Amino acid sequence: MATDLSLPPTDATADWVIPQNWASYSPREHHVWDQLYARQSAMLKGRASAPFLKGMDSLRLSRGGIPDFEDLSERLHKLTGWQVVAVPGLVPDAVFFEHLANRRFVAGRFIRKPEQLDYLEEPDVFHDVFGHVPLLSDPVFADYMQAYGLGGLRALNFHSLEKLARLYWYTVEFGLIRESGGLRLYGAGIVSSFGESVFALDDPSPNRLQFDLERVMRTRYQIDDYQQGYFVIDSFEELLHQTAEADFAPLYCRLEDLPDIAPDAIIDTDRVINRGTQAHARSRNPSC
């Protein structure tokens, strides 16, 4: 994990890319991937969005073992022009946005330990690749991710990264989508989590609200527990349209004058799909 973000580590290029060193993974590490893969791929049938499941197939993620980024990038590039590159962990915001803007997804190369199957603080290769990469094979979502990177580069000048990070959080990491059979998962933080892939769809605790760009960018989030609220989009086209075509400069100015919204709040203008009981959050923190 890189903790000093002032300079890339010595084995990295100027844009913080390091070799994945695929040949150095041990059989034990590949086995951890296989265990996680078997568990999540069974769980996600009927839960994950159709483009996510299609992406798993077209990228052949079921082949077994931690994917080789070179091989994965070759297949992905043919579909949408995206690639996957390894980084040492956290990278500076400008580096992250620059990669996205150039259709490169940055992924950690390490994998969690066998005793960490259910919870991990830092994203590992399973979260980054299994969680994020299948949707990069969808042409519209692929364009959304690039648009987000371009928006991030512009946001650096507005000092509005916190608000933009909320958009990433509530879509790329924890988004839900409406499909003909009902709500489905598409956020990487949910689809790569055994517990949250059930909680986000089935549990009565969280709010489920219709996505609204400005509302999302005002909403705080929590990083150490399941979400208290999820935002539902109707399609990736809608998400791309709202993001790529929004003029963020006046939006950032307007947001400066508006108060943040708590993660569990429902406000008058919300279109509520499910009003959550928040029982899960209360059980974790009885003083709430």
- Measured from the CB of residue 204, what is the shortest distance to Fe ion in angstroms? 26
Terminal alpha carbon distance of the chain = 34
The alpha-carbon radius of gyration of the chain (Å, integer) is 18
- Measured from the CB of residue 198, what is the shortest distance to Fe ion in angstroms? 19
Give the CB-nearest residue to Fe ion.
188
Block residue for tokens 């689809």: 191
Return left, alpha or beta for 3; rule: phi > 0 is left, psi -120 to 50 is alpha, else beta: alpha
Nearer to Fe ion, 95 or 188 (CB): 188
- Measured from the CB of residue 131, what is the shortest distance to Fe ion in angstroms? 6
Instruction: Name the token pair of 60.
Output: 């052949």
CA 117/CA 106 separation, integer angstroms: 22
Among 23-31, 47-55, 186-194, 257-265, the segment contacting Fe ion (CB under 5 A): 186-194
Tell me, yes or no, if 173 is annotated catalytic: yes
248 to 74, 92, 152, 212: CA distances (angstroms) = 34, 21, 10, 14
- Measured from the CB of residue 274, what is the shortest distance to Fe ion in angstroms? 24
Among 50-58, 106-114, 181-189, 238-246, the segment contacting Fe ion (CB under 5 A): 181-189
188 near Fe ion, judged by CB under 5 A: yes
Which residue from 168, 217, 5 is spatially nearest to 94, judged by alpha carbons? 5
Residue from 29, 98, 99, 132 carrying the catalytic annotation:
132
Tell me, yes or no, if 99 is annotated catalytic: no
Residues in contact with Fe ion, counted by CB under 5 A, come to a total of 1
Q: Tally Cβ neighbours within 10 Å of residue 212.
A: 15
Nearer to Fe ion, 106 or 255 (CB): 106
- Measured from the CB of residue 103, what is the shortest distance to Fe ion in angstroms? 17
Nearer to Fe ion, 100 or 188 (CB): 188
Residue from 173, 193, 196, 197 carrying the catalytic annotation:
173
CA 22/CA 10 separation, integer angstroms: 19
145 to 11, 71, 234: CA distances (angstroms) = 27, 21, 17
CA 132/CA 144 separation, integer angstroms: 13
Instruction: Name the token pair of 139.
Output: 């042409």
Nearer to Fe ion, 82 or 252 (CB): 82
90 near Fe ion, judged by CB under 5 A: no
* Residue 76: burial class (beta carbons within 10 Å; 0-12, 13-18, 19+): buried
167 near Fe ion, judged by CB under 5 A: no
Nearer to Fe ion, 147 or 190 (CB): 190
Tell me, yes or no, if 31 is annotated catalytic: no
Residue from 73, 127, 196, 205 carrying the catalytic annotation:
127
Tell me, yes or no, if 127 is annotated catalytic: yes
Among 84-92, 183-191, 229-237, 273-281, the segment contacting Fe ion (CB under 5 A): 183-191
CA 240: distance to chain centroid? 15
Residues in touch with Fe ion (CB under 5 A): 188
Q: Which sequence positions are flagged as catalytic?
A: 127, 132, 173, 192
